[in-house]
């Protein structure tokens, strides 16, 4: 099915795809109606509906793995659980995005530490990649701190090469951690601001300011995914396109 190719594309691509479909239908209509003057306003309205319908459908699919930070996630105990948000699909800001389950977390800046928790299995690879940190958006110098089951400190990273973690970073102050999970259990990744770090139980040092924003890409090999659009969405799309097609007699 054609639409399956577009699961988990980013929002801009989704909107562009929707508009492309609208243009495609317009060309089809024009080929059957060579005179511009013969196109009635109600048909123009239907074209717009097709575009919006396509755009909304693709957007719903695209956002399965893109989530927003939810406060208060200021400690390991109150970390935001991201287990239900993992998906697989092409994302130019995430390495191995087509094969390795990922979550993209958008932070709007909250003047506090941010912790995100998830499950992982022993021997699986994990990638933690800050994008749009330094010199982009609400620019700041972020750090990442990784904790294992029980809040045990594992490692941290301050700065990394911009070539790590595919696109999204233009300055080496954006951190990146690659780690193979030693045991099965709940892990936690934390975001703080240079100069900071961590020990068993949590982060310490500078707290991001309210104007500091970032995107955190979390990739966990072998994590369960849930990127299938709800049946109701597909049904709605089918009914909508069928109804519009009948009116166009296509
Ligand atoms: Ca990236
Ligand atoms: Ca927080
Ligand atoms: Ca990055
Ligand atoms: Ca840094």
Predicted confidence (pLDDT) at residue 241 exceeds the cutoff of 90: no
DSSP sequence for 165-213: TSSS--STTS-EEEEE-SSSEEEEEEEEESSEEEETTEEEEPPPPTT--
Do 120 and 164 belong together in one domain?
A: yes
CATH number for the domain that contains residue 191: 2.60.120.380
pLDDT tens digits for range 52-65 = 444 444 444 444 69
Predicted confidence (pLDDT) at residue 50 exceeds the cutoff of 50: no
- Residue 166: nearest ligand to its CA? 1
Residue 85 CA to ligand 2 center (angstroms) comes to 19
Do 201 and 100 belong together in one domain?
A: yes
Do 48 and 131 belong together in one domain?
A: no
Show the domain range for 174. 65-220
Residue 143 CA to ligand 1 center (angstroms) comes to 14
Return the pLDDT at 110.
Answer: 87
Residue 158 CA to ligand 4 center (angstroms) comes to 4
Ligand 4 (single-atom ion) residues, CB below 5 Å: 141, 158-159, 173, 194
pLDDT tens digits for range 130-188 = 999 999 999 999 999 999 999 999 999 999 999 999 999 999 999 999 999 999 999 99
More confident residue, 34 or 79: 79
Do 134 and 207 belong together in one domain?
A: yes
pLDDT level of residue 226 (50, 70, 90 thresholds): confident
Do 22 and 80 belong together in one domain?
A: no
More confident residue, 33 or 130: 130
- Residue 172: nearest ligand to its CA? 4
Number of domains in the chain: 2
Residue 4 CA to ligand 3 center (angstroms) comes to 28
Neighbouring C-alpha atoms within 13 Å toward the C-beta of 141: 10
Do 157 and 37 belong together in one domain?
A: no
Average pLDDT over residues 15-30: 46
Do 131 and 32 belong together in one domain?
A: no
Residue 141 CA to ligand 4 center (angstroms) comes to 4
Residue 56 CA to ligand 3 center (angstroms) comes to 29
Return the pLDDT at 198.
Answer: 97
Average pLDDT over residues 85-89: 96
pLDDT tens digits for range 184-208 = 999 999 999 999 999 999 999 999 9
Return the pLDDT at 31.
Answer: 52
Residue 166 CA to ligand 1 center (angstroms) comes to 5
Do 205 and 87 belong together in one domain?
A: yes
Residue 69 CA to ligand 2 center (angstroms) comes to 8
Return the pLDDT at 121.
Answer: 98
Do 240 and 199 belong together in one domain?
A: no
Do 40 and 133 belong together in one domain?
A: no
Do 155 and 47 belong together in one domain?
A: no
Ligand 1 (single-atom ion) residues, CB below 5 Å: 93, 129, 131, 165-166, 168
Do 57 and 30 belong together in one domain?
A: yes
- Residue 114: nearest ligand to its CA? 2
What is the chain's mean pLDDT, rounded? 79
């Amino acid at each position: 099915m054609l639409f399956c190719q577009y699961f988990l594309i980013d929002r801009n691509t989704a909107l562009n795809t929707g508009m492309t479909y609208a243009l495609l239908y317009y060309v089809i209509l024009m080929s059957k109606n060579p005179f511009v003057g013969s196109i009635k306003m109600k048909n123009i309205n239907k074209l717009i509906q097709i575009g919006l319908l396509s755009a909304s459908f693709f957007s719903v699919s695209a956002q399965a793995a893109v989530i927003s930070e939810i406060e208060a996630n200021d400690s390991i105990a109150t970390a935001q659980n991201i287990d239900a948000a993992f998906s697989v699909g092409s994302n130019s800001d995430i390495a191995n995005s087509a094969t390795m389950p990922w979550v993209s977390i958008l932070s709007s800046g909250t003047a506090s530490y941010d912790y995100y928790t998830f499950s992982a299995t022993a021997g699986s690879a994990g990638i933690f990649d800050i994008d749009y940190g330094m010199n982009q958006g609400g620019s700041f110098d972020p750090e990442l701190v990784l904790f294992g089951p029980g809040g045990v400190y594992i490692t941290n990273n301050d700065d990394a090469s911009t070539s790590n973690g595919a696109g999204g970073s233009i300055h080496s102050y954006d951190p990146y951690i690659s780690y193979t999970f030693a045991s099965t259990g709940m892990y936690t990744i934390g975001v703080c601001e240079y100069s900071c770090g961590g020990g068993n139980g949590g982060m310490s040092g500078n707290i991001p300011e309210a104007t500091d924003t970032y995107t955190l890409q979390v990739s966990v090999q072998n994590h369960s995914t849930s990127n299938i659009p709800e049946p109701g969405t597909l049904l709605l799309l089918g009914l909508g396109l069928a109804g519009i097609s009948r009116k166009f007699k296509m």
